[in-house]
Amino acid sequence: MTSSNLLADKICHHLDVIYQGIELPIEHKTLANQLISTMRLSPNLETAMPMAVSQSLWTEKDTIMITYGDSLLQSGETPLKTLKSFLNQYCQPHINGVHILPFFPYSSDDGFSVIDYSSVNEGLGDWVDIEAISSEFNLMSDLVINHCSARSAWFQNFMKSEGIGHDYFYTAAPDIDTKQVVRPRTSDLLKEVETAQGTQYVWCTFSHDQVDFDFRNPEVLKAFVEIIRQYIDHGIRTFRLDAVAFLWKELGTSCINLDQTHEVIRLLRSLIEQACPQAIIITETNIPNHENLTYFGNANEAHAIYNFSLPPLLVNTLITGNGDHLKRWMMGMPPAQQGTTYFNFIASHDGIGLRPAEGLLQENEINVLVNTMQSFGGLVSWRTTENGDRKPYEINIALFDALQGTQAGPDKYGIDRFICAHAIMLAMEGIPGIYIHSLLGTGNDYDKVENTNQNRSINRHRWEFSQLQDLLSQPHTQHHQVLKRLMHLIELRTEQAAFHPNAVQFTLHLGGQLFGFWRQSMDRRQSIFCVSNISLETQILNLADMNLIQTDNWKDLLSGQEITESLASIELKPYQTVWIANYK
């Protein structure tokens, strides 16, 4: 690392690493100054030295709701206005952030095939609507950085071989050996395209409507820095780098997690943190756990990484009634360095990813998980391995339906099991993200799957807002019960210093059917023992196993039960959770 702390020198260092061995038509220093100018910064700006202590940009009061811009519809108004009404009515003040999935014009993949990065999909609203939300909530936006739509102006210019974008896309010879390339899809990697300069073969990691960028061309990097600056201007404070692990391609390699990819993220971090010190970067890297952890870098890359192993492990725990794998994983997770954290979630717009479970669950256990989810109405998406084998990549199912029972089948504990999953997730080290359809207890949407012929549509329901409001007002509905119980958990969480995303976490050893961990606030004043019965049978929690300090008073935050000296144990009903905290 350069010893200088001037921004221009720092960006030059990043560029030296990214473009090592590549002859550019522009000097690195000139390119660095152009990037800095685009972000409206000074090249002589002094930055923090490499070993400077990073500050956390989050607290226990942060919870993010994940949603599409049109998950809620109301006649006579734009979906983004309806979304803001929902946020104001049902989420404030305890949910203070919202991740609106790609809200730009798109051609496929429910937004992740972006046609135009600079405008809002007119079917959702406009930048005024986005700014109205970002003025009251921490707004997370996707930066779909690996690829764009084949219908974008950039790709149309590629086919015409002229104009902006004509050289933005990665091409390769049709006869190259791509066996080492790691991909999440089974479609052909290369797409044959007729251009003004003849037939070319464009790299498509995901689908033939999603054409991959070629970051060897610095003009692509410049274009994305300009996009980032625009998003900051509209109030976006959290950048989710979508599919970023695939960003850099190099023939003869796996084309995933390459060093240049990591350095591009570090460069973007260097620019973003100077332009907007409150902004954070989250990398979306749906890959095995040990690979995912590398995106923290040395606290100089992603501020947060998705905890992709949590969903399959937690669902597996609750359908088997055994928490050994989850416990072993938690024990092996390193505490996030100061200035970094995990982003925890157990449901999303996609599904339950299975690659992050590789090495954590045995293949036969993954097969049992897949079969159980299929028996609950779930679907399976597949990928092709390097050997040409077909393996399950993702389970597509609404989390509410995924937890309706165990391997033995559906039972009466569905809601309790569902709440238990969230009680575990909300108490863990990291920032929690809750998918809107989990918050609302939405089930599988088979009609949408039939209409779109896409497996992931099963968990992308669109609610008529008035119908939803009616259901939420009725205490007997699953939607009312789930929202009420989850908001109670979130409210309690925001009040506990021991639930700071970087507070100490220690795994407890309480047997196979009790899963627990201990959190301690950063000032060491508050401790919380978080214990869940993950089984169908009532379990006894022996308080002697908890080592409660006798000079403190203790109570279960969830039930309000006082923990007296005479109390030797607590009976936990199926899927009951306790948060036993000390108080003065």
Choose one of 474, 497, 520: the last residue of a domain.
497
Domain that holds residue 171: 147-212
Q: Are 312 and 433 members of one domain?
A: yes
Assess contact for 529 and 536: CB atoms under 8 A. no
Which domain-ending residue is among 480, 497, 514?
A: 497
On whether the CB atoms of residues 305 and 282 are closer than 8 A, the answer is yes
Known binding-site residue numbers:
109, 147, 240-242, 349-350, 456
Q: Report pLDDT for 287.
A: 87
- Same domain assignment for residues 568 and 454: no
Length of the chain: 584
- Give how far the C-alpha of residue 169 lies from the chain's centroid of Cα atoms, to the nearest Å: 26
Q: Are residues 245 and 320 in the same domain?
A: yes
In a domain, 427, yes or no: yes
Q: Are strands 527-533 and 514-520 parallel, antiparallel or unpaired?
A: antiparallel
Q: Residue 256 is part of a domain; what is its CATH number?
A: 3.20.20.80
Calpha distance 103→234 (Å, rounded):
13
Whether 383 has a pLDDT exceeding 90, the answer reads: no
- Whether residue 415 is found in the same domain as residue 456: yes
DSSP classification of residue 293: G
Residue 381's H or E segment, with its range, is strand 379-384
- Does residue 30 sit within a domain? no
| Rg of the chain, C-alpha, whole Å | 24
Q: Does 25 map to a domain?
A: no
**Residues 84-95: tens digit of each pLDDT:** 999 999 999 999
53 pLDDT tier (thresholds 50, 70, 90): very low
Question: CA 306, 410, 541 angle in degrees (round to 5)?
Answer: 70
Check whether residue 119 and residue 154 sit in a common domain: no
CA 453 centroid distance within chain: 24
Is there a single domain that holds both residue 520 and residue 568?
A: yes
Active site residues: 242
Q: Report the number of distinct structural domains present in the chain.
A: 3
The residue-averaged pLDDT of 295-310 equals 96
The answer to whether residues 165 and 118 belong to one domain is no
Is the same domain home to 190 and 271?
Answer: no
pLDDT of residue 546: 85
Summarize the chain as % helix, strand, coil (round to 5): 35, 20, 45
Tokens read off for 526: 């508050």
Q: What is the mean pLDDT of the chain?
A: 95
Specify whether 162 is located in the same domain as 301. no
Q: Tell me the pLDDT tens digit for each residue of 104-160.
A: 999 999 999 999 999 999 999 999 999 999 999 999 999 999 999 999 999 999 999
CA 357 to chain centre: 16
Query: Residue 51 pLDDT > 60, yes or no?
Result: no
**Does residue 448 form part of some domain?**
yes
pLDDT (tens digit, 9 = 90+) per residue, 167-192? 999 999 999 999 899 988 888 999 99
Q: What are phi and psi of 63, to 5 degrees?
A: -140, 135
Q: Which residues are annotated as a binding site for substrate?
A: 109, 147, 240-242, 349-350, 456
pLDDT tens digits, residue range 242-285? 999 999 999 999 999 999 999 999 999 999 999 999 999 999 99
**Looking at residue 561, which CATH number applies to its domain?**
2.60.40.1180
Q: Per-residue confidence at 3, pLDDT binned at 50, 70, 90?
A: low
Clarify whether residues 289 and 398 are in a common domain. yes
d(CA 148, CA 212): 7
Give domain status of residue 1, yes or no: no
User: Which DSSP string corresponds to 393-438?
Assistant: EEEE--HHHHTSEETTEE-TTHHHHHHHHHHHHHHSSSEEEEEHHH
Residue 8 domain flag: no
Q: Using the 3D structure, point to which of 497, 531, 553 is the last residue of a domain.
A: 497
pLDDT at 54 over 70: no
Residues 125 and 260 in one domain: yes
Contacts of 167 (CB under 8 A, 6+ apart): 158, 214, 217, 219
Per the domain annotation, does 40 fall within a domain?
no
DSSP 167: T
pLDDT at 468 over 60: yes
Each residue's pLDDT tens digit, 203-212 = 999 999 999 9
Do 370 and 322 fall within a single domain? yes
> Phi and psi of 320, rounded to 5°?
-100, -20
